[in-house]
């Protein structure tokens, strides 16, 4: 997103999809929730996580129209903090689980980490598609 103008941040990856701006803000929302979920799973026995409806979050004023400078430094700080946490996890902690009620399924942190890695790549592809297609 570096160097994109405000107009370019309004580009969408597909008709009806989120804007690049919304994707940036969603990334912070999603990763802060995931960080908390990891901490819950390490400190509690198979906690049931609280899902959130990401679509209305992306429609809130700060996500729809707020400067990406509100989220970019937070994403960077969140990833630094999360990285320290992950690097200090013991091998057996990666096998700890959490229950995700939307999926009605238990996930190990090892699998959950892979899901978030995919999530990052998924939204990065959205940004790349928006930049390539310039759909507004």
Q: pLDDT tens digits for 51-99?
A: 999 999 999 999 999 999 999 999 999 999 999 999 999 999 999 999 9
Conformational region of residue 47, where left means phi above 0, alpha means psi within -120 to 50, and beta covers everything else: beta
Which is higher by pLDDT, 135 or 40? 40
pLDDT at 134: 67
| Burial (CB count <10 Å: 0-12, 13-18, 19+), residue 35 | middle
The one-character DSSP state at 11 is: -
**Is residue 17 scored above 60 in pLDDT?**
yes
Count CB neighbours of 63 within 10 A: 23
**What mean pLDDT is reported for the chain?**
94
Binning pLDDT at 50, 70 and 90, where does residue 132 land? confident
Percent of the chain with pLDDT over 90: 87
Instruction: Provide the CA 25 distance to its chain's centre, in angstroms.
Output: 9
pLDDT of residue 131: 86
What is the average per-residue pLDDT within 15-29? 95
Question: CA-to-CA distance for 74 and 18, rounded, in angstroms?
Answer: 20
pLDDT tens-digit readout, 117-126: 999 899 999 9
Contact between 26 and 100 under an 8 Å Cβ cutoff? The reply is no
pLDDT at res. 135: 52
pLDDT at 28: 96
Please give the full DSSP string across 55-115, using - where no structure is assigned.
HHHHHSHHHHTS-GGGTHHHHHHHHHHHHHHHHT--GGGGG-EEEETTTTEEEEHHHHHHH
For residues 13-28, give the mean pLDDT. Answer: 94
């Amino acid at each position: 997103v570096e160097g994109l103008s405000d107009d370019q941040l309004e580009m969408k990856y597909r008709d009806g999809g989120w804007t690049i701006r919304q994707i940036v803000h969603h990334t912070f929302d999603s990763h802060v929730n995931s960080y908390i979920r990891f901490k819950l799973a390490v400190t509690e026995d198979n906690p049931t996580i609280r899902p959130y409806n990401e679509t209305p979050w992306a429609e809130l004023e700060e996500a729809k129209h707020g400067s990406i400078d509100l989220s970019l430094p937070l994403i960077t700080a969140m990833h630094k903090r999360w990285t320290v946490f992950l690097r200090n996890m013991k091998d057996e902690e990666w096998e700890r689980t959490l229950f995700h009620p939307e999926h009605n399924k238990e996930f190990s942190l090892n699998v959950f980490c892979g899901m978030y890695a995919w999530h990052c790549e998924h939204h990065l592809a959205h940004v790349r598609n928006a930049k390539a297609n310039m759909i507004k």
